[in-house]
Amino acid sequence: MKLLTIQIEVSHEVEDALTIFAQDSLHALGSEAIRRQDFEEAGWRHDSTVVDWDELHDLPVDVRLIFYFDQERDQDELVAAFRAKLAELKGYGLAVGDGSIKTGYIQDEDWNTVWKKYYQPISFSRHLAIVPEWEDYQPAFPDQKLIKMDPGLAFGTGNHETTQLAMLALERVLTKPVKVADVGTGSGILAIAASKLGAKEVLGTDISDDSMDAAKENFALNNITNYQLQKTSLLAGVAGKYDIIVANILAEILLDLIPQLQAHLADQGKVIFSGIDYLQLPKIKHALDENGFQIILQMQEKRWIGLLISRKDQ
């Protein structure tokens, strides 16, 4: 099978917003970012960035985003959607960069090997490291827990700031072996992190078939058995209450989740939101307030906001 590729030259200011837009609104099968800065810093960086100098033919001015879509998708429609999004972001006062767009086709096996090359172990914290399935990794601490991942076609390698903000909040609130629901589980990474941090049971929900397949494989890869997966929108049809509900999804979708929270959150429960572009924060704050919730911790990385939330009276 072939994949449609759409390549856009942008400024780093819009990289995240455009990537999430492609993933969540246009249902891209995958994405890749080639950042000039990564190449320039390659000599001294020892984190998850990997640079293959042999493949260095033409560097982007700032960031080149490559999105992968099913070959049957209408490329003119997708290009028009990207152009409209770039115009919207420009309207917010962001530097969008060159904005030029190129389209093409590649064999999907090529895509699989391309992204794997850029996916390296992440020593995330004192407690957790995220390790691609095919990598050997020596824990930085004898008791550091490893999250083994093969995200397949689902979102959630652990590289994205939004995933990392949600993981930080999980470390903060998982102080007892409680029940955790991960809404929009993607690759299952947050549910797996919760289980490794000692959750009693984890539930992952998602609307995507790719997510269900990837999460199931990743639970098996991590020898996790105390999990359930449910293909549904947000918490629709989910039975029972959860002590922690974590959701890393775009703000527009979190707005639909907020009215469902009271019914699914246990007494003294906590909610973790991530995936909120800072421009969308006022809307989320307002909706939380209207639905009886308060923010008890706010974190930010680049444009992205992560929130720890409780009921107002708790």
Ligand X SMILES: C[S@@+](CC[C@H](N)C(=O)[O-])C[C@H]1O[C@@H](n2cnc3c(N)ncnc32)[C@H](O)[C@@H]1O
DSSP string, 136-175: ----SSTTPEEEEE--TTSS--S-SHHHHHHHHHHHHH--
State in angstroms the smallest separation of the CB of 188 from ligand X. 8
60 vs 275, which CB is nearer to ligand X? Answer: 275
User: For residues 30 and 156, which CB has a smaller minimum distance to ligand X in the complex?
Assistant: 156
User: Between residues 120 and 205, which has the closer beta carbon with respect to ligand X?
Assistant: 205
**To the nearest whole angstrom, how small is the minimum distance from the Cβ of residue 248 to ligand X?**
4
In whole angstroms, give the CA distance from residue 78 to residue 101: 11
Question: Cβ closer to ligand X: 26 or 253?
Answer: 253
Closer residue to ligand X in complex, CB, 132/184: 184
Tokens of 193: 């992190």
Q: Binding site residues for S-adenosyl-L-methionine, as ranges?
A: 163, 184, 206, 248
Q: Is the Cβ–Cβ distance between 35 and 10 less than 8 Å? A: no
Minimum Å gap between C-beta 53 and ligand X is 29
Cβ of residue 22: shortest distance to ligand X, in angstroms? 11
**Axis crossing angle, helix 209-221 with helix 189-196, rounded to the nearest 10:** 30
Q: What is the rounded CA–CA span in Å between residue 32 and residue 19?
A: 9
Quick one: tokens of 140?
């930085």
Residue numbers of the site for ligand X (CB under 6 A)?
24, 154-156, 160, 162-163, 166, 183-186, 189-190, 205-208, 211, 233-234, 248-249, 253, 275
CA distance 177 to 278: 32
Annotated binding-site positions: 163, 184, 206, 248
Nearest CA among 218, 203, 209 for reference residue 151: 218
**Tokens 């992952």, residue?**
204
| Ramachandran angles phi, psi of 60, nearest 5° | -70, 160
Rounded to an integer, what distance in angstroms lies between the CA atom of residue 247 and that of residue 303? 17
* Cβ atoms 35, 63 nearer than 8 A: yes
Radius of gyration of the chain (CA): 19
Closest CA to 214 of 234, 185, 235, 183: 185
Beta carbon nearer to ligand X, 10 or 168: 168
Smallest distance, Å, CB 190 to ligand X? 5
Shortest Cβ distance from residue 107 to ligand X (Å)?
Answer: 24
